[in-house]
Structure formats: structure tokens, C-alpha cells
Amino acid sequence: MAKDPVCEMEVDKDKAPAKTEYKGQTYYFRAPECKAAFEKDPEKYLRKQEGDD
């Protein structure tokens, strides 16, 4: 499982409807809209994830 960085929902890597690579890492999304939002401003969502600790 992976966490969609946009909507923060759990996503099955094998069944994810969308994925993208950024800085050598693969990110999985529960919807194409989440992927589109991430690709517009990936750093926004990565900063959000870093603050989740």
C-alpha cells in the first residue's frame, strides 16, 4: 500500500489508477485528478507529508 500525497488516502500500488515519478521516487494516486494536482506543484504535497510525523 501507498499513501496518495494529495488526498492522503491509502492506495494499492498494483491497482492505483494513476502514478508518476518525481525526483526518482514513484507516487501513487487514487484518482487522475490527484495526480494532476501533484504534478502542478509536487513540493506543496511533499512538504505536507513531511509535516505529518
Q: Is 43 domain-assigned?
A: yes
Q: Measured between alpha carbons, how far apart are the two ends of the chain, in Å?
A: 18
Q: Does residue 24 sit within a domain? A: yes
Total domains in the chain come to 1
Which pLDDT score, from 0 to 100, does residue 52 have? Answer: 59
Q: What is the pTM of this model?
A: 0.87
Per the domain annotation, does 53 fall within a domain? no
25 within domain boundaries? yes
Bridge partners of residue 19, in order along the sequence:
28
Query: Contact 3/12 with Cβ under 8 angstroms?
Result: no
* Residue 33 falls inside a structural domain: yes
15 lies in which domain range? Answer: 2-48
Q: What is the pLDDT at residue 50?
A: 72
How far apart, in whole angstroms, are the C-alpha atoms of residue 18 and residue 23? 17
Give pLDDT tens digits for 1-53.
999 999 999 999 999 999 999 999 999 999 999 999 999 999 999 988 776 54
